[in-house]
């Protein structure tokens, strides 16, 4: 909210022009200056006018308390969801990826996180009469994995052979803006500057693939505090956009290795307990045995506990036998559940050979992620 432009706060035009002339453009510019600073900067503005300005800006950006009853009636009509095209996952999520919050896709390399993002891009960007939302998409591609040809392929198969299908695919691609920031700082500034374009372009989805790439390469082990502070700022900015514009914001996250010794009780105990209590997916080998064998060198979500608390919904993607599985590991409104999926030329879809949502038990947030390889931090 601090980056909200003063031009959108109903400030009188003459005063607004004076503020712009002194390079005071956002709420942050005003509220981080002392009253004495503002008096010196705005020489031709009275002290009374400055006091009124600070009060007006403060009221505009300050959170307004609301009763739970009011929020319930506000969120019911607004509670839109973005379908994932995995029917059983959409059912478990009460319609798909929720709007107004931050959803994380976490899993090992090659499991399908980027494919999932491309699929969501198509679902949001497709014209309404072609089954999409007809909204613009902002896609932050920090890992350089976005492929326009793959997006076109998914769109072609989703739209099908209908009159004007080629134009519909082109319209879908035109609705997706791809940005490739080079540093975590550039990414943060890009996120903060999205507010005006979300309004102008009617953005319906913001994607970040991935949140871990730039901070893991830009910050060393000795800069952990700075890294976590940057992640907190990025998460706060993304959640603000999600909430204020009621749109889904989706980020992907990498995994890191977690090694345990046999003699030291630790998280592997909960992993094995989780694996024994989990209902295996139909058509796949016992998932429990797969996780138990990974107790010595399992992988878990990167970026630590602070980042995990920033996420509203966490979806874990992993390999199970010869297939793939996606789990709702964290959600404020949905049960912990898992279902199988596959990646085809049509995109990400339900694996009908291993269908069925399984309820999960145990500490899913502390579980390891099944994978064939360990990953460096």
Mean pLDDT by 10 residues, the chain (377 residues): 79 90 90 90 90 90 79 60 92 93 94 96 93 95 96 91 81 97 96 93 96 91 90 94 95 81 41 36 38 50 88 92 90 88 93 67 49 35
Q: Which CATH number covers residue 101?
A: 3.40.50.300
Please give the pLDDT value at position 1.
58
What per-residue confidence (pLDDT) applies to 295?
Answer: 39
Same-domain pairing of 181 and 264:
yes
Q: Can you give the CATH number for the domain in which 41 is found?
A: 1.10.150
Residue 187 within any structural domain of the chain: yes
66 located within any domain: no
Question: What residues make up the domain containing 93?
Answer: 82-377
Task: Evaluate whether 342 touches 296 at the Cβ level (below 8 Å).
Answer: no
Report the pLDDT value the prediction gives residue 286, as an integer from 0 to 100: 40
Q: Which of 175, 180, 182 is nearest to 146 (CA)?
A: 180
Per DSSP, the three-state class of 5 is strand
Let me know whether 99 and 243 are in one domain: yes
Same domain, 303 and 263: yes
Q: Would you say residue 75 lies in a domain?
A: no
Question: How far is it, in rounded angstroms, from Cα 245 to Cα 235?
Answer: 15
pLDDT, position 246:
93
Rounded Cα gap, residues 50 and 48, in angstroms: 5
Tell me the C-alpha distance between 80 and 97, whole Å. 9
284 in the same domain as 138: yes
Whether 72 maps to a domain, the answer reads no
Please check whether residue 71 lies inside any domain of the structure.
Answer: no
Same domain, 37 and 101: no
Say yes or no: 49 and 90 in one domain.
Answer: no
162 and 95 in a common domain: yes
67, part of any domain: no
- Kindly state whether residues 254 and 147 are assigned to the same domain: yes
Number of independent structural domains in the chain: 2
pLDDT score at 65? 79
pLDDT at 290: 38
- Please give the model's pTM, rounded to 2 decimal places: 0.73
Structural contact between residues 300 and 99, judged by C-beta atoms closer than 8 angstroms: no
């Amino acid at each position: 909210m601090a980056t909200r432009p003063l031009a959108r706060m109903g400030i009188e035009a003459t005063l607004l022009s004076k503020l712009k002339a002194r390079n005071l453009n956002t709420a942050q510019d005003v509220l981080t200056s002392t009253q004495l600073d503002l008096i010196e900067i705005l020489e031709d503005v009275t002290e009374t006018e400055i006091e009124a300005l600070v009060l007006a800006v403060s009221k505009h950006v300050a959170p307004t308390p609301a009763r739970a009853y009011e929020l319930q009636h506000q969120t019911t009509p607004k509670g839109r969801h973005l379908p994932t095209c995995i029917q059983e996952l959409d059912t478990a999520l009460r319609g798909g990826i929720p709007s107004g919050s931050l959803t994380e896709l976490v899993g090992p390399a090659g499991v399908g996180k980027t494919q999932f993002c491309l699929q969501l891009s198509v679902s949001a960007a497709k014209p309404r009469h072609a089954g999409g939302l007809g909204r613009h998409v902002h896609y932050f591609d920090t890992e350089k994995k976005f492929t326009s040809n793959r997006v076109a392929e998914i769109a072609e198969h989703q739209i099908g052979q209908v009159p004007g299908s080629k134009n519909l695919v082109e319209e879908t691609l035109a609705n997706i803006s791809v940005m490739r920031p080079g540093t975590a700082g550039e990414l943060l500034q890009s996120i903060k500057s999205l507010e005006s374009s979300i309004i102008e372009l009617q953005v319906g989805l913001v994607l970040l693939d991935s949140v871990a790439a730039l901070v893991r390469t830009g910050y060393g082990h000795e800069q952990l505090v700075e890294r976590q502070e940057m992640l907190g700022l990025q998460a706060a900015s993304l959640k603000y956009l999600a909430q204020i514009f009621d749109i889904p914001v989706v980020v992907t996250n990498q995994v890191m290795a977690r090694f345990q010794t046999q003699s030291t009780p630790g998280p592997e105990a909960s992993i094995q307990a989780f694996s024994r209590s989990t209902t295996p997916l139909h058509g796949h080998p016992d998932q429990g045995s797969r996780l138990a064998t990974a107790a010595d060198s399992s992988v878990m979500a990167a970026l630590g506990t602070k980042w995990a608390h920033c996420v509203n919904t966490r979806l874990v993607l992993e390999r199970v036998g010869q297939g793939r599985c996606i789990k709702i590991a964290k959600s404020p409104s949905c049960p912990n559940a898992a279902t199988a999926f596959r990646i085809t030329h049509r995109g990400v879809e339900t694996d009908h050979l291993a269908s069925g949502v399984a309820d999960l038990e145990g500490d899913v947030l502390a579980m390891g992620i099944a994978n064939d390889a360990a990953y460096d931090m």
